[in-house]
Amino acid sequence: MGVTLHDLASDEAVFDVNFWHWRALVEAVRRLDVLPAETVDLLHEPFVGELTEPEARLVAEAIQTRLLPTLPSDERVMLDGTRTTTPDDGTFYREPARQHLNYSTDRATLEEFATCCARCAGFRVG
C-alpha cells in the first residue's frame, strides 16, 4: 500500500511512500499550520488531494526550517506528533486503541518530501 505524488505540470511521479509514513507525514504538515485544515484533510484522499506550487513551497520551507532542525536522525514522528527513538519493528497493531502506533515517519522521509515540495510544480495525490 503506497501513495504516489504526481507533479501537476508533468504528471510525472515525483514521490512514493508507504501509507504508514504518509498518514504521519500529512499530520506533521497539519501541525506546521501553513495550510488550511481543509487542504490538509484532502491530502489523505487519493485522486482528490493536491497542493499548488505555492502551497508546496510553503510546506517545504516549514519542514526544512521548523521541523527538521528539531528532529534527530534516530527519531520517528508518530501520527499524534509525539516522537520516539524506538525503531519501527514492523509490528501491526490491530487493537483500535493502539492502531495509531502503526503510523510514523522519519527524518529521511521528511527530507525527501520537503525536497519534492521544493522542486515540483505542485502535486496531486495518487
What rounded mean pLDDT belongs to the chain? 96
pTM higher than 0.85 for the full model?
yes
User: Would you state the pLDDT for residue 115?
Assistant: 98
Distance from C-alpha of 24 to C-alpha of 106, rounded to nearest angstrom: 9
**Which residues, at least 6 apart from 67, have a Cβ–Cβ distance to it below 8 Å?**
28, 32, 110
Do residues 36 and 29 touch, judged by C-beta distance below 8 A? no
Instruction: For residue 9, name the pLDDT band (cuts at 50, 70, 90).
Output: very high
Do residues 104 and 21 touch, judged by C-beta distance below 8 A? yes
**In degrees to the nearest 10, what's the CA dihedral of 72, 75, 78, 81?**
-30
The set of cell numbers assigned to 42 is 484532502
Report pLDDT digits (tens) over 24-51: 999 999 999 999 999 999 999 988 999 9
